[in-house]
Structure 1
Amino acid sequence: MCSRDVLLKLFPYLSPLLIEEIERQPDRVVFRTRVRATAGVCRCGESSARVHGRYIRRLRDVATGGLGVVIELGVRRFRCENTRCPAVTFAEQIAGLTTPHSRYTPLLRRVLTHIGLALAGRAGVRVAAAVGISVGRDTLLRMVRAVPEPDASEVEVLGVDDFAFRKGRHYGTLLIDMATHRPFHLYDGREGEDLADWLRGHPEVKVICRDRSSGYAEGARVGAPQAQQVADRYHLWANLGQAVEKSVNAHRSRLAEPAPDEAAESLEVEPAVVHSPDELKIVTRLREQHGAAHELWEQGMSKAAIGRKLGLHQATIRKLVSARSADDVVAKSLQRVHIVDPYVGHLHRRWNEGVRNATQLYREIQQLGYPGGELAVQRHLRRYRTGRGHAPAVGPKPPSVRDATAWIMTNPEHLRDEDADKLHRLRERDAELDRLTGHVRKFATMMTGLHGDRLEDWIADAEQDTLAPLASFARNLRRDLDAVRNGLTLPLQLWRR
């Protein structure tokens, strides 16, 4: 065992104790100690040497060398001699080592609290076990809850945003200190009246950075009329993205690149039937069955006997025997009209426009009078997906609305060469999408360069354009013009990306 001097360097808070024994166990080290002092001090400040009783107190400490440390401390309980003190007896406490009713030393409690704050329950338990500290997840969480809340300092620049307790159903409001970008308060609900009530108790707020909610705008105006409102740029960009996606969706049929030969690939004319390998096998089988059925019929066998011998239904045998040649059987089989056939032209056209969802196409031809079910449409579209049968000539799959929106909303310098080339061809084909891209890039330049003075010109240009979703977004900006201009001028942002 090491000397007392070495132990005190490792565990300086053991200096007031007399170490009687050190025991090494497989998973821990146990120090058996007792207090050196002859008297204890009550919480009333009076010292006492009258020992009322003794007991063993076990304290866990931080691990050393991967082994847990347990301090078995012989504690004395004294009788307080101050007649005015409400405590009749008291147990002695060692500064830096014990606290009332605690099973952990202050050092171990601080370590576990930090682990709990960083990793919470299960993950914190695993990390603690890796360094030789066994603890339960509930204990870690209780230590986290016991951490006192920091004193709420005065906030001059306030951030306001909502969050979901349960998305789509239950929301709350988060208040952020924009100086530190740390949340410091939250409350249930996201109504403007709740925000106004909170702001009335904090007249020191000078700037409110918020999302585009009209409720928060009204609450900030009523509760803090002295404060300057700032529309958050992240939310502005998100709102613009929604308008762009709606505009692209309205031009969805134009996203596909034109076929090389429009005349040869006309979508309104039914393509010629091309027999696949599977259809050729059917033809071969019909010919073989026709030959076998006629051979047995000429031998004098009945149609029922022929059916039993060939494993075919009697109705099929009647068709085979009645047909003068195998070509008649094949022709009748290939001339059967499918229930989807009258609507193939519409399916071809929509398929090449990029609509590949069977349920959507089924609903479209239903409106045109299609009497069948969705399963038949799915089977027909399976030919298109695999290239079998009379599937239309399919070129490269057109970009999705989400892909095209992402290309328009992404900084041109950050676009991949392939995506930049696709966007360039898309802008050449569609003048409206070309103008949409131009509006978005002007707004991005205005937002990143903090050119709020250009806002009204941008709104006027967008309102005059024929892109309805973008014009609606621009008109909506006018309703919150001052806050939007401040958001595009002041270097404030709720969430850092």
Structure 2
Amino acid sequence: MEKTCHQHRNCLRKHTENEAPVVPEPALLESPPPDLPRTQIIERTRHRHADVRRLVEAGWTISAIGRRLNLDRKTVRRFRDTDIDQLLASAHERRPAGVLEPFKPYLNTRFTETEGQVSGSRLFLEIRERGYRGSRQVVRRHLAALRAGTVEPVRADIPSPRKITSWIMRPREALTESQERRLLEVRLACPDITRACDLARAFADLVRYQRGYLLLAWIRQAETDAPKPMSGFAGFLRRDLDAVTAGLTLTWSSGVVEGHVNRVKTLKRAMYGRASFELLRTRILNQP
């Protein structure tokens, strides 16, 4: 019996020695989170979270923290109850609002002119010279969306009526090349503006060079082929044709008198309810 047990122990020892040793599997190492870019939003989130946590630990209330940091109560509560990693991840996904908005009309114009055959890097360099401070990826993303048709193209920059009027009424030699080009684009886009531009410049020449003898011909042309506001203006001129013709022909003018009247009215408005009539009379008579 003892011999059998001894043989059994020897066999078990040999079997154990022949088996390969069991090596424990190495523990999986967690990779560190990727470093977030040091953008303005990321840094602001870090500092705001640190300030909120510091004041909370000091025993400040949510309302007091909001007044101290100029934050809304909901914002203070979110920074108090949310982990910093989650706040940073949310800040990393955000994009600065409106960074590209002022430059979208220019991008739309360039995209249309080149029929979409312009690179995002080229557009990025062009708008950076015009004051853009965003990233290159934002420009490329917007350009890709324009090519894919997933966003509506932004309407090109349209000059205001006041600006168009200033281009029309200004002497041609006083316009820059850019202003002449923009005015030509507006005239090609709107036939009514083209007719109004030609008639307005002709009338400006009548006033500037005192060509009153051409006034009746101008009125007839404006009443025949002109936008409604300008044809109405021509009708008012016809009602007092002799006086207007004299004003565009003779060297006499009531401009000096009108200037004095305007000066008196300005003084009256400035002194109304604050000074006596004697002081008003003295200022009117003594001021050159």
TM-score range, shorter chain: 0.3 to 0.5
Between Structure 1 and Structure 2, the one with more strand by share is 1
Normalising by structure 1, what TM-score?
0.25
Normalising by structure 2, what TM-score?
0.38
